[in-house]
Amino acid sequence: MPNTIRLPSAVRSLSLPLALSATAALAASMPAHAQPAWPAKPVRLVAGFAPGGISDILARVVGARLGEALGQPVLVENRAGASGTIGADFVAKSAPDGYTLFLGVNATQSIAPSLYPKLPYNPATDFAPITIAAVTPVLLVTHPSLPVKNVKDLIAIARAQPGQLNYASTGTGAVPHLTTELFSLRAGVKMNHVPYKGGAPAMLDLVAGQVSLMFDNIPTAIAQVRAGKVRALAVAQSQRTPAASDIPTMGESGFPGFEVISWQGFLAPAGTPVPVINRLNAEIIKVLALPDVRERLTAQGIEIRTSTPAEFAAMIRADAEVWAKVIKATGVRIE
């Protein structure tokens, strides 16, 4: 039996032309099936490093207040490993619907393309930048048992004991790793690299004396410096940081021009609707401007910085060019 279309009784009583016209009018008057307004469920925010590090701190502080602004919980998920690239790959392959976000860093977006010949995602094409969120100075710290008071002392020991000093990093290819390799290259020393899955576990082993030194983001390191559990030698930027104004810069320590900035920013999978990206950009910027959020983050040495999505994309491209030169100079490579 052929398929039949059953019209409403009021329409069936009309002639065929009038019936078709009435049917069209009836269809036009009925509301189209619309997707529920975003967000209609919790949003997942992926951090690529272990709990306790700068990415985790920023994700949880911002995520809590962002959830309030969106009217849906923002659930932080730590997917640590491979300098954050495991988490980045997960988000790159997630549905572009606004329900999975990523807190990206230099290592995942700017460094990885030059470091990994078989990177499973493309930072330039697999992500939609939302906004940069923060920049943090990088601090050179040592275990108190190491008999050094400044960078000059550290270089002297490293040269006297080639290959015997162990340094920690937040992961192979992360900013602390490449910063130490760049320092070693310029200082003419050789040290052993011990990678971890984030700043917190690396700092724990430094405090315990399992490693001798590391370059670390100030938010992870400054509490241990203030507690006397590690010794700060220098900050890797051109000017002293307000969070630790008593610590000299690398330039003051004999390394002019040695400046490294670690950044963190929010991204979504490529193809996420532009209205969602714009809403997230506006809400995250509002959250970062809240007095209590600013106070909590700046007290830990985190400098808040925001941008448009286009500005963030341009910053990532420029940063990638800088790190490509560092990787070439140091010879670091991950197969």
- Does the pLDDT value for residue 279 go beyond 90? yes
32-35-40-46 Cα dihedral, nearest 10 degrees: -170
The rounded distance, in Å, linking the Cα atoms of 196 and 119 is: 19
The burial class, CB within 10 Å (0-12 / 13-18 / 19+), for 209 is exposed
Is pLDDT at 60 greater than 50 in this prediction?
yes
Q: Which residue has 């209590």 as its token pair?
A: 292
Whether the Cβ atoms of residue 326 and residue 175 lie closer than 8 Å to each other: no
Whether the CB-CB separation of 239 and 218 falls below 8 Å is answered with no
Smallest CA-to-CA distance from 121 within 71, 73, 87, 83 is with 87
| DSSP per-residue letters across 159-223 | HHSTTT-EEEESSTTSHHHHHHHHHHHHHT---EEEE-SSHHHHHHHHHTTSSSEEEEEHHHHHH
Band of residue 12 on the pLDDT scale cut at 50, 70, 90: very low
Is the per-residue pLDDT at 5 higher than 60? no
Domains of the chain, earliest start first: 43-136+262-330 (3.40.190.150), 137-244 (3.40.190.10)
Global pTM value: 0.81
Nearest to 100 by CA among 48, 46, 51: 46
In the DSSP assignment, the letter for residue 93 is T
* Cα separation, 206 vs 296, whole angstroms: 25
Average pLDDT over residues 144-148: 96
Pairing of strands 43-47, 74-78: parallel
Please check the confidence at residue 224 and state whether its pLDDT lies above 50: yes
Question: Treating both helix axes as pointing N-terminal to C-terminal, what angle do 309-330 and 175-187 enclose, rounded to 10 degrees?
Answer: 40
Distance from CA of residue 205 to its chain's centroid?
A: 23
With 90 as the cut, is the pLDDT of residue 22 above it? no
> Average per-residue pLDDT in the chain?
89
Q: In angstroms, what is the C-alpha Rg of the chain?
A: 26
Of 100, 103, 106, nearest to 131 (Cα)? 103
Q: Is the pLDDT of residue 140 over 70?
A: yes
CB atoms within 10 A of CB 263: 21
Quick check: 7 pLDDT over 50? no
* Per-residue pLDDT tens digits for 313-324: 999 999 999 999
C-alpha–C-alpha distance, residues 97 and 40, integer Å: 11
Q: How far is CA 16 from its chain centroid? A: 63
pLDDT per residue over 75-99, tens digit each? Answer: 999 999 989 999 999 999 999 999 9
Is residue 220 scored above 90 in pLDDT?
A: no
Backbone dihedral angles phi then psi of residue 103, each to the nearest 5 degrees: -95, 95
Residue 23 has pLDDT above 70, yes or no: no
Q: How confident is the model at residue 35 (pLDDT cuts 50, 70, 90)?
A: low
**pLDDT: which is higher, 303 or 33:** 303
Report which of 238, 196, 156, 192 is spatially closest to residue 51, judged by C-alpha positions: 196
By CB neighbour count within 10 A (0-12 exposed, 13-18 middle, 19+ buried), where does 223 fall? Answer: middle
**Mapping DSSP to helix (H, G, I), strand (E, B) and coil, where does residue 46 land?**
strand
> How far is residue 13 from each of residues 9, 19, 21, 30, 95, measured CA to CA in Å?
7, 8, 13, 21, 48
pLDDT in tens, 164-195: 999 999 888 889 999 999 999 999 999 999 99
